Chain A
Amino acid sequence: GENVEQHPSTLSVQEGDSAVIKCTYSDSASNYFPWYKQELGKRPQLIIDIRSNVGEKKDQRIAVTLNKTAKHFSLHITETQPEDSAVYFCAPLQGAQKLVFGQGTRLTINP
């Protein structure tokens, strides 16, 4: 099965600074790499994803980079804002049907 680890488990940054969360996985056959955001008391929501034929994808202030050789992918948030405070999960796909969620990273944006 897929082993997934996220680092760091907690991250605190000043508003306006950048945040980076890294996810390592074990299944070399994984080909889809999403990031989910979960605000306090809310449902997980997909914020960005990347497929294995692409090295980087950007959507406004968020970006995801993928290193398939090293089996890790990272979430980058620039110009952080208070509403970015949440728990972020990576969830690489195992097989075609199963997302394996990391343990989550609690991101706090300090005003």
Chain B
Amino acid sequence: DTAVSQTPKYLVTQMGNDKSIKCEQNLGHDTMYWYKQDSKKFLKIMFSYNNKELIINETVPNRFSPKSPDKAHLNLHINSLELGDSAVYFCASSQGVSLAKNIQYFGAGTRLSVL
């Protein structure tokens, strides 16, 4: 049984489209994250939510909008997709916000290809 699950696993779409990626965790964790890993494997935090509240918002275009309907879910909506958005997006979760005390668990990733 998957602890942090993302859907879809693959997403191929045209430039200009709007798409969403969903993430759910069944670990009872309070904190969830979105990371972007580009083609050179750079892995960067985008957003973090704790108990449905935004706590980290990196320099990300506002075409990206995270939404957390409850603490077990953190979805990522992307408007007006661009070629540079092509990447693997990883969701992650941890029990609490302090990562020195709480291990972060990653989902399997969503590979987004914008054509």
Assess whether B108 is in contact with A42, with CB atoms less than 8 Å apart: yes
Assess whether A99 is in contact with B100, with CB atoms less than 8 Å apart: no
Given known pairs A87-B41, A99-B45, the reply for A46 and B103 (CB within 8 Å) is yes
Q: Let me know if A81 is at the binding interface, CB within 8 A.
A: no
Instruction: Find A98's partner among B45, B103, B109 (CB 8 Å cutoff).
Output: B45
Interface-lining segment among A16-24, A54-62, A65-73, A89-97:
A89-97
Assess whether A96 is in contact with B97, with CB atoms less than 8 Å apart: yes
Secondary structure at the B interface, as helix, strand, loop or mixed, is loop
Q: How large is the interface on B (under 10, 10 to 19, 20 to 34, 35 or more residues)?
A: 20 to 34
Q: Let me know if B51 is at the binding interface, CB within 8 A.
A: no
B19 to chain A, nearest CB (A): 21
Assess whether B100 is in contact with A103, with CB atoms less than 8 Å apart: no
Chain B, range 30-61, C-beta contacts under 8 Å to A: 40-45, 48, 55-56
Assess whether A97 is in contact with B56, with CB atoms less than 8 Å apart: yes
Name A residues whose Cβ lies closer than 8 Å to a Cβ of B. 31-32, 38, 42-46, 51, 87, 89, 93, 96-101, 103-104
Name B residues whose Cβ lies closer than 8 Å to a Cβ of A. 40-45, 48, 55-56, 90, 97-100, 103-104, 106-109
